[in-house]
Amino acid sequence: MTSAPIISVIIPMFNAKKYIAECLDSVLLQTFQDFEVILVNDASTDGSRQIAESYLEKFGGRLAIYDNQKNLGVSATRNKGLEISRGEYVFFMDADDLILPAGLKRLYGLAKCFDVDVVNCTGFYNMSDDGKERTLRRLKKPTATDENIIDVNLEWRVKGLLEDNFYWAPWRRLLRRDFLIRNGIFFPEELKICEDEIWTHGLLFCAKKILHTPLAIYLYRKSEGSLLRIKRNNLQKADSDFNAIIQGLTWIDSMMDKVPFFQTAPQYRYEILSHVAQRYFAGLYKNSLKVSQADIYRSVKKTFGKNFGDYDVLISVLLTLVNSFQKADEKNKMRLIELEEQMKGESS
């Protein structure tokens, strides 16, 4: 394509041989045709790339395939696609999901009609691995209504974040590309989990105007290979939670530095950081119950050792909190056993 397209569809792909053809077919069926597809292959080893190559002619020059020399993860792969893209708007898809035929047309129509940086869909479809079962899902929060909501109020968004009123998945949105680039809203590559949740904070902090719409045009496949369903032991889970707390809070804090609102309302800055820390600490605590303090410390040192000068105080505080909660949990368990024994004695 010589002229820039209106929409860039960005698809990170890693070992999606089972699904990538169906994904690309759904894009081919779009009633809106002024788009390009940027497919970034994250060092797949299962033949996914060969299947994608077979679609080059079908797209008539609108599909471009790029390769990572090594597996970089979904954040870096999406960021590469964003940097390469040329569209006025970008739409992120996952390689195992589908979009309904009128999806891009309806998203673009809303973006232009309301002149927004972000079109945020509050509905989507859950789809079984074989694609036969589809269930409409909606966020049952204030942003999920039967009408479009024009959002220009940052304080309202912050309160919504504190009440978990927003979905995190990037494929829920059509985004103005220059808005993302201008504000440096790239996916945090240091994070092992929850990169989409952290990234969404940047959208909500920086967008001048967002449209929240009940439109549901995306089919999310609950596939066997989903990252969230990869089995990890308790130590690996705890390590990921440490990563999310440290790297996630750092990313959110740096994004708030760019927004004057948080300079004049520091209480909201504190509440956001506290809320995110508590969310991830809950997971860290749960996963650490079956892991010794020594193992947790070794894992943290291995992961963050080169940055201990930056994070040593925070890590010490987190380890102390984990230790205190573990002791409290053990104490409560012992107390429950005592009470159960006491109740048995009284009943007899």
Whole-angstrom distance, CA of residue 67 vs CA of residue 40? 6
Question: Which pLDDT belongs to residue 202?
Answer: 96
Q: What's the angle, vertex CA 80, arms to CA 34 and CA 118, rounded to 5?
A: 55
Q: What are the φ/ψ torsions at residue 58 (nearest 5 degrees)?
A: -60, -35
The structure tokens listed for 336 are 């429950």
In 114-237, DSSP assigns E strands to: 118-121, 123-127, 134-138, 149-151, 173-176, 210-213, 218-221
* 245-248 CB contacts, 8 Å cutoff, 24+ apart: 245/276, 245/277, 245/280, 245/281, 245/284, 245/318, 246/304, 246/311, 246/314, 246/315, 247/188, 247/190, 247/191, 248/188, 248/191, 248/194, 248/197, 248/198, 248/276, 248/280
The residue with greater pLDDT, 50 or 326, is: 50
Mean pLDDT of 3-22: 96
* Domain co-membership, 173 together with 281: no
CA of 177: how far to CAs of 60, 158, 278, in Å?
A: 23, 23, 32
Domain boundary among 208, 229, 250: 229
The structure tokens listed for 334 are 């012992």
Q: What is the pLDDT of residues 130-167, one digit of tens each?
A: 888 999 998 766 666 678 899 999 999 999 999 988 88
* Domain co-membership, 189 together with 238: no
Domain-located, residue 1: no
Q: What's the angle, vertex CA 59, arms to CA 54 and CA 62, rounded to 5?
A: 120
* Domain co-membership, 210 together with 239: no
DSSP 10: E
* Domain co-membership, 266 together with 223: no
Helices 266-288 and 234-256: crossing angle, nearest 10°?
170
Domain-located, residue 194: yes
Q: What's the angle, vertex CA 98, arms to CA 89 and CA 14, rounded to 5?
A: 85
Give DSSP secondary structure letters for 82-98: HHH---SEEEE--TT-E
- Name which of 200, 217, 213 is nearest 149 in CA terms: 213
* Domain co-membership, 221 together with 296: no
At 345, the pLDDT band (50, 70, 90 cuts) reads: confident
* Domain co-membership, 134 together with 250: no
* Region of poorest pLDDT, from 42-46, 320-324, 341-345: 320-324
Q: What is the pLDDT of residues 28-68, one digit of tens each?
A: 999 999 999 999 999 999 999 999 999 999 999 999 999 99
Mean pLDDT of 102-106: 98
Average pLDDT, the chain: 87
Question: Which pLDDT belongs to residue 227?
Answer: 42
Cα torsion angle, 69, 72, 74, 78, sign: negative
* Domain co-membership, 171 together with 269: no
CB 23 within 8 A of CB 97: yes
Domain count, the chain: 2
Sort residue 194 into left (φ over 0), alpha (ψ -120 to 50) or beta.
Answer: left
Report helix, strand or coil for 270: helix
* Domain co-membership, 152 together with 188: yes
Q: Are strands 149-151 and 210-213 parallel, antiparallel or unpaired?
A: antiparallel
Would you say residue 216 has pLDDT above 70? yes
Would you say residue 254 has pLDDT above 90? yes
* Domain co-membership, 113 together with 22: yes
Question: Which pLDDT belongs to residue 306?
Answer: 64
CA of 36: how far to CAs of 17, 31, 187, in Å?
A: 21, 14, 21
At 4, the pLDDT band (50, 70, 90 cuts) reads: very high
* Domain co-membership, 249 together with 294: yes
Domain-located, residue 2: no
Range of the domain at 38: 7-229
* Domain co-membership, 144 together with 278: no
Q: What are the φ/ψ torsions at residue 329 (nearest 5 degrees)?
A: -65, -45
Domain boundary among 178, 198, 229: 229
Would you say residue 257 has pLDDT above 70? yes
Would you say residue 124 has pLDDT above 70? yes
Domain boundary among 211, 229, 247: 229
At 346, the pLDDT band (50, 70, 90 cuts) reads: confident
Domain-located, residue 206: yes
- Name which of 166, 164, 208, 168 is nearest 187 in CA terms: 168
At 206, the pLDDT band (50, 70, 90 cuts) reads: very high
Q: What is the pLDDT of residues 270-308, one digit of tens each?
A: 899 888 888 877 766 666 666 676 776 676 666 666 665
- Name which of 191, 317, 183, 182 is nearest 243 in CA terms: 191
The predicted model scores a pTM of 0.84
Buried b (16+ CB within 10 A) or exposed e, 299-333: bbeeebeeeeeebeebbeebbeebeebbeeeeeee
Sort residue 44 into left (φ over 0), alpha (ψ -120 to 50) or beta.
Answer: beta
The CATH code of the domain that includes 26 is: 3.90.550.10
* Domain co-membership, 190 together with 330: no
56, β-bridge pairs: none
At 229, the pLDDT band (50, 70, 90 cuts) reads: very low
Mean pLDDT of 175-194: 93
